[in-house]
Amino acid sequence: MKDAPGTPTPRLVGVYNADGGTVGEIKYIAGKLLGQAHCSLCDVTHSPVRRKKAWDAMVRTLPYQFVLLHRNELPANLQEIAATALPVVVLEDGRDVRVLLRDDQIASCEGDPERFAELLIATLAAM
């Protein structure tokens, strides 16, 4: 079923507990090495050197587009999310933003994209 014209398509948005850009990435890596920075969503999406192939494969199976943003890249309608504990995964439909997963839930996946998918799908089904 197609959305009515003018109705935004829902999407999932994962917000990292890290800033984007070269400086942000360097700060995060240094902070992680020093034990001063951590992002459970980063653990799910990335290996120590690049994005996980298992993450890319999993995202293609989801019912909605999944967008990853850093905390300094948020559009106005997601700014309030940045004030909460990060990382977070939300469902955005143009009218409403609903928090689906918080840090402790994401961390429970222990960096495994398949476990993350199971949790996310179960959360979406319970809505």
Instruction: Provide the number of structural domains found in the chain.
Output: 1
Residues 94 and 38: beta-carbon distance below 8 Å:
no
DSSP summary character for residue 4: P
- Sign of torsion over alpha carbons 70, 73, 77, 81: positive
- The domain that holds 76 is classified in CATH as 3.40.30
| Average pLDDT of the residues of the chain | 88
85 domain residue, yes or no = yes
d(CA 115, CA 74): 26
Amino acid of residue 125: A
Look up residue 12 and give its DSSP letter.
E
pTM: 0.87
More confident residue, 1 or 23: 23
Q: Would residue 5 count as lying in a domain?
A: no
pLDDT grade, residue 1 (50/70/90)? Answer: very low
**Residue 1 falls within a domain, yes or no?**
no
Q: What angle do CA 124, 40, 66 make, to 5 degrees?
A: 40
Convert the pLDDT of each residue in 4-31 to its tens digit. 566 678 999 999 999 888 887 878 777 7
Confidence of residue 102 (pLDDT cuts 50, 70, 90): very high
pLDDT at 3 over 60: no
Is residue 118 predicted with pLDDT exceeding 50?
yes
Highest mean pLDDT among 16-20, 56-60, 94-98 belongs to: 56-60
Q: Is the pLDDT of residue 38 over 60?
A: yes
Q: CA 39 to CA 28: how far, in whole Å?
A: 9
DSSP 43-91: HHHB-SSSB-HHHHHHHTTSSSEEEEEEGGG--GGGHHHHTSSSSEEEE
Domain span including residue 97: 11-125
In Å, how far are 10, 72, 122 from 42, measured between CA atoms? Answer: 23, 15, 21
Helix, strand, or coil (residue 2): coil
